[in-house]
């Protein structure tokens, strides 16, 4: 079961994890990205390429299902404006064994960073700046 969603609404962690647990898996792994404060950041804004983003995330989820023995994959990404402490992204994987669930979870977040058309803008009060892509993300994605 694949669930992919790009939504301005907050991510409901408990609901998403419960749905994965109900897949009958022995193990559920998750990664949640949260807007981090510090460096004067007050909010984050996410823009995406409607249509292409959904396809890119579905393709990633299908690749993970093919590569590992998974019973469920959930990939959620928020778009629009988010305050410090809010969730940006959620990856959840369900598998009979922990190794598969954990590996697929790491794969999905690494590849999402380079393979899905999102752009992030940091707000510091009234000032906004586009986040630059990091070389380390390309390296992390290439190890798969």
Residues that bind a second copy (CB under 8 A): 13-14, 17-18, 21-22, 24-38, 85, 87, 96, 98-99, 101-102, 105-106, 109-110, 140
- Cβ-based neighbours of 37, under 8 Å, separated by 6 or more: 84, 85
**Minimum CB–partner distance for residue 104 and a second copy (Å):** 11
By CB under 8 A, residue 118 contacts another protein: yes
Binding footprint of another protein, residue count (CB under 8 A): 28
**Shortest Å, Cβ 120 to another protein:** 4
Half-sphere exposure of 27 (CA within 13 A, CB side): 14
Out of another protein, a second copy, none, which partner does residue 49 contact, by CB within 5 to 8 A per kind? another protein
* Shortest distance, position 60 Cβ to a second copy, whole Å: 15
Q: How many angstroms separate the first and last alpha carbons of the chain?
A: 22
> Cβ 41 to another protein, closest distance in Å?
14
Which residues lie closer than 8 Å to 89 by C-beta, 6 or more apart?
Answer: 11, 31, 32, 33, 76, 77, 78, 109, 112
70 scored as a contact of another protein (CB under 8 A): no
Rounded alpha-carbon distances, angstroms, from residue 60 to 9, 43, 54, 89? 22, 28, 10, 14
Nearest CA to 25 out of 93, 102, 90, 76 is that of: 93
Residues that bind another protein in the complex, under the rule CB under 8 A: 33, 46-49, 51-52, 55, 77, 88-89, 98, 109, 112-121, 130-133, 137
């Amino acid at each position: 079961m694949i669930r992919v969603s790009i939504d301005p609404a907050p991510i409901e962690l408990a609901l998403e994890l419960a749905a994965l647990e109900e897949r009958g898996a022995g193990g559920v792994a998750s990664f949640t990205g949260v807007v981090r404060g510090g460096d004067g950041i007050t909010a984050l804004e996410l823009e995406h390429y409607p249509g292409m983003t959904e396809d890119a995330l579905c393709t990633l989820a299908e690749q993970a299902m093919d590569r590992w023995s998974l019973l469920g994959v959930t990939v959620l990404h928020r778009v629009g404006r988010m305050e410090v402490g809010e969730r940006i992204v959620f990856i959840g994987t369900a598998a009979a064994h922990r190794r598969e669930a954990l590996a697929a979870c790491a794969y999905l977040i690494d590849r999402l960073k380079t393979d899905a058309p999102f752009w992030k803008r940091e707000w510091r009060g009234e000032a906004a700046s586009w986040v630059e892509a990091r070389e380390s993300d390309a390296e992390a994605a290439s190890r798969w």
